[in-house]
Amino acid sequence: MASGKTLCSSGVSASALPFPRVLSREQAAGPGGLVMSSDFGSSTAIGGEPLSPETTVELLELAKGGDPQALDRLLERCVPALRRWAHGRLPPTARSLNDTADIVQDTVMSAMRHLEVFESRHQGALQAYLRRAVMNRIRDVIRHHKRRPEVSGLSEELQDEATSPLEAAIGAENLERYESALERLKPPDREAIIGRLEMLYSYEELATVLNRPSAAAARMAVTRAMKRLAEEMQHV
Binding site for other proteins (CB under 8 A): 1, 3, 38-43, 83-85, 87-89, 97, 100, 153-154, 156-158, 160, 165-166, 168-171, 174, 177-178, 196-200, 219, 222-223, 226-227, 229-231, 233-234
Measured from the CB of residue 36, what is the shortest distance to other proteins in angstroms? 12
Instruction: Give the integer Cα–Cα distance in Å for 168 and 23.
Output: 19
Measured from the CB of residue 121, what is the shortest distance to other proteins in angstroms? 27
Our CB check for other proteins shows the closer of 80 and 124 to be 80
Measured from the CB of residue 173, what is the shortest distance to other proteins in angstroms? 8
Q: Alpha carbon of 182 to those of 25, 142, 152, 226, 227: distances in Å? A: 9, 22, 29, 10, 12
Our CB check for other proteins shows the closer of 87 and 184 to be 87
CA dihedral 88, 90, 95, 97 (to 10 degrees): -70
Beta pairing partners, 119? 13
Our CB check for other proteins shows the closer of 39 and 72 to be 39
Measured from the CB of residue 114, what is the shortest distance to other proteins in angstroms? 27
Our CB check for other proteins shows the closer of 2 and 115 to be 2
Instruction: Give the integer Cα–Cα distance in Å for 95 and 89.
Output: 9
Listed in sequence order, the residues at least 6 apart from 102 whose beta carbon sits closer than 8 Å to its beta carbon are: none
Beta pairing partners, 13? 119
